[in-house]
């Protein structure tokens, strides 16, 4: 049995808590390794070491820190194939999709290479007589990231690349379901020249997360995962005086107007709904065709497109998607399919009971399609996070647009149309954080920033981009005067610039 250790001070460190989590191969359902689960004492040890390491790293000039990012980017490119295969072996997504996972993280590393430019402060000469005012951006110190299973490369890189380039030390508590790629990221950072102790990987579950949330030396927590946990992390971390950004779950809608290019729409939505077995927070699991004609045509073409998908093991280059993450998650998704049936939606394609020859115990679910879903159904209100596309029919654009706006989640939404004015109005009014116009998965590029609204995000700064720099730095503002010897009156009133 392979053991996956913590990565502390540049070294592989076996766990001492005596607790372990099983790592499955989702393609076979077999246990392939076990991961150490940290105790509070182990978290504290990693944090204390990071505090020591951060002092020097924070004092290193920004350009030298950026050079580590340049070298890291080159190493990620060099090791892309190896990382992608490793990622797929624990997550189950197909290897080409794992490369996308790494590439989207690498793009944040590219952004981080230019961070010195964003660390420059502001300066006002002569804000008052002989007075200059300037502001500095300084690192917070030691910060932590807690990440989900579904993007084990991209999301740790969203956070850590920005945090490190800003001069912080970073403690990563990755998902305990697929922890190997995060450890490799730590090894590659050391190879890129990052000093030991500045990036620590500590594995664990709730016990480790709770220790981070209350630790007095952790200045900020970045979390991505499901909404209930995100809200808990936000509330607990904030109550302990930390800056917290906590991204949660999603239920993204794709609105299809009658004038849209339906062939393109079906091509886009089939990938966005079923890619990565639907286990993406920016997946598109709800389609809303406007008008009965559009709905009938969409269902007909989507049924053919979904039926033609190949579900396979993650190393199958022909497969469109692989298994879901665990037996428990497969059972949960299948229970939601049954719920949809019980609630009265039309089950057009049923992906339950899919068995792959030679991989009968793998966690595979075939493409599932529901028509005539309604907003009252619980299976619509909840995030399913599986290869299940639900179609809600709407009569008008207003009715369609109200659905994502009124939904509890507000991560992403897409509108498919040739009508620029309708799209523009929609963008202006929709109550959702990230919008695509004829783009099914509108994940912003690395120099913008990522964040949903409502139950999809707690906290007020987005991931990566300039918001990331704001999150991982604090502003110090200096008001400076060099007295010229002319001693003025004693001042008992608050200084003003009158």
Cβ proximity to ligand NAD: between 248 and 465 the closer is 248
252 binds ligand NAD (CB under 6 A): no
State in angstroms the smallest separation of the CB of 73 from ligand NAD.
Answer: 22
255 binds ligand NAD (CB under 6 A): no
Cβ proximity to ligand NAD: between 57 and 450 the closer is 450
> Which of 36, 46, 229, 369 touches ligand NAD by CB under 6 A?
229
412 binds ligand NAD (CB under 6 A): no
Cβ proximity to ligand NAD: between 417 and 456 the closer is 456
Cβ proximity to ligand NAD: between 65 and 329 the closer is 329
Q: How big is the CA angle at 459 (ends 454 and 461), to the nearest 5 degrees?
A: 105
> Which of 249, 271, 275, 465 touches ligand NAD by CB under 6 A?
249
Tokens 């620590």 belong to which residue? 200
**CB 162 within 8 Å of CB 472:** yes
Q: How many CB atoms lie within 10 A of CB 478?
A: 11
**CB 284 within 8 Å of CB 440:** yes
383 binds ligand NAD (CB under 6 A): yes
276 binds ligand NAD (CB under 6 A): no
Using alpha carbons, select from 384, 347, 389, 385 the residue that is nearest to residue 367.
389
175 binds ligand NAD (CB under 6 A): yes
User: How many residues lie near ligand NAD (CB under 6 A)?
Assistant: 26
Catalytic site residue 166? Answer: no
In sequence order, the 6+-apart residues with CB closer than 8 A to the CB of 151 are 101, 104, 105, 280
Alpha helices in 284-419 (DSSP H): 292-307, 327-342, 378-381, 397-406
Question: Three-state SS string across 55-119, please?
Answer: HHHHHCCHHHHHHHHHHHHHHHHHCHHHHHHHHHHHHCCCHHHHHHHHHHHHHHHHHHHCHHHHC
202 binds ligand NAD (CB under 6 A): no
> Which of 23, 76, 257, 281 touches ligand NAD by CB under 6 A?
281
Using alpha carbons, select from 166, 164, 170 the residue that is nearest to residue 192.
164
By CB under 6 A, which span of 24-32, 44-52, 243-251, 255-263 interacts with ligand NAD?
A: 243-251
Bridge-partner residues for 146, per DSSP?
173, 223
> Which of 98, 180, 252, 456 touches ligand NAD by CB under 6 A?
456
> Which of 452, 459, 465, 468 touches ligand NAD by CB under 6 A?
452
* Gap between the Cα atoms of 147 and 105, Å rounded: 13
* Gap between the Cα atoms of 51 and 58, Å rounded: 10
Tokens 């971390």 belong to which residue? 237
By CB under 6 A, which span of 144-152, 160-168, 305-313, 372-380 interacts with ligand NAD?
A: 144-152
247 binds ligand NAD (CB under 6 A): yes
179 binds ligand NAD (CB under 6 A): no
By CB under 6 A, which span of 68-76, 123-131, 145-153, 185-193 interacts with ligand NAD?
A: 145-153
* Gap between the Cα atoms of 25 and 31, Å rounded: 6
Among residues 43, 281, 282, 414, which one is catalytic? 281
Question: What does the binding site for ligand NAD look like in residue numbers (CB under 6 A)?
Answer: 146-151, 173, 175-176, 205-206, 209, 224-226, 229, 247-250, 281, 383, 385, 411, 452, 456
Catalytic residues: 281
């Amino acid at each position: 049995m392979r053991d996956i250790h913590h990565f502390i001070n540049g070294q592989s460190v076996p766990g001492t808590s005596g607790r372990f989590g099983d790592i499955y191969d989702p393609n076979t359902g077999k246990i392939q390794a076990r991961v150490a689960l940290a105790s509070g004492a182990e978290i504290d040890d990693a944090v204390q070491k990071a505090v020591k390491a951060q002092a020097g790293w924070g004092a290193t000039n920004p350009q030298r820190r950026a050079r580590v990012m340049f070298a890291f980017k080159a190493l990620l490119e060099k090791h892309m194939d190896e990382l992608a295969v490793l990622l797929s072996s624990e997550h189950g997504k197909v290897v080409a999709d794992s490369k996308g996972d790494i590439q989207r993280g690498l793009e944040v590393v590219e952004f981080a290479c230019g961070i010195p430019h964003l660390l420059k402060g502001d300066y006002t000469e002569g804000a008052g007589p002989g007075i200059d005012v300037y502001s500095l951006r300084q690192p917070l110190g030691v910060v932590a990231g807690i990440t989900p299973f579904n993007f084990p490369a991209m999301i740790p890189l969203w956070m850590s690349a920005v945090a490190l380039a800003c001069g912080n030390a970073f403690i990563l508590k990755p998902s305990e379901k697929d922890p190997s790629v995060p450890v490799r990221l730590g090894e590659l950072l050391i190879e890129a020249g990052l000093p030991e102790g500045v990036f620590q990987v500590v594995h664990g579950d709730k016990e480790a997360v709770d220790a981070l949330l209350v630790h007095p030396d952790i200045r900020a927590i970045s979390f991505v995962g499901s909404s209930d946990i995100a809200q808990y992390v936000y509330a607990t971390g904030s109550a302990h005086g930390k800056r917290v950004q906590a991204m949660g779950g999603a239920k993204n809608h794709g609105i299809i107007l009658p004038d849209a290019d339906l062939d393109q729409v079906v091509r886009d939505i089939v990938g966005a709904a079923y890619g990565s077995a639907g286990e993406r927070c920016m997946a598109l699991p709800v389609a809303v065709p406007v008008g009965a004609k559009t709905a009938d045509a969409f269902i007909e073409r989507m049924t053919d497109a979904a039926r033609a998908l190949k579900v396979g093991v993650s190393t199958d280059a022909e497969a469109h998607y692989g298994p879901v993450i665990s037996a428990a998650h497969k059972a949960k998704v299948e229970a939601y399919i049954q719920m949809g049936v019980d609630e009265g939606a039309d089950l057009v394609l049923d992906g339950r009971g899919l068995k792959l020859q030679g991989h009968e115990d793998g966690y595979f679910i075939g493409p599932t399609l529901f028509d005539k879903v309604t907003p009252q159904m619980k299976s619509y209100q909840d995030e399913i996070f599986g290869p299940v596309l639900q179609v809600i029919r709407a009569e008008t654009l207003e009715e369609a647009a109200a659905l994502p706006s009124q939904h509890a989640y507000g991560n992403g939404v897409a509108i498919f149309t040739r009508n620029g004015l309708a799209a523009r109005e929609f963008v202006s009014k929709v109550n959702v954080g990230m919008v695509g116009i004829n783009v099914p998965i509108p994940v912003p590029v690395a120099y913008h920033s990522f964040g949903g609204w409502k139950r999809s995000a707690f906290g007020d700064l987005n991931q990566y981009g300039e918001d990331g720099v704001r999150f991982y730095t604090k502003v110090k503002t200096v008001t400076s005067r060099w007295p010229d010897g002319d001693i003025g009156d004693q001042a008992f009133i608050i200084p003003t610039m009158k």
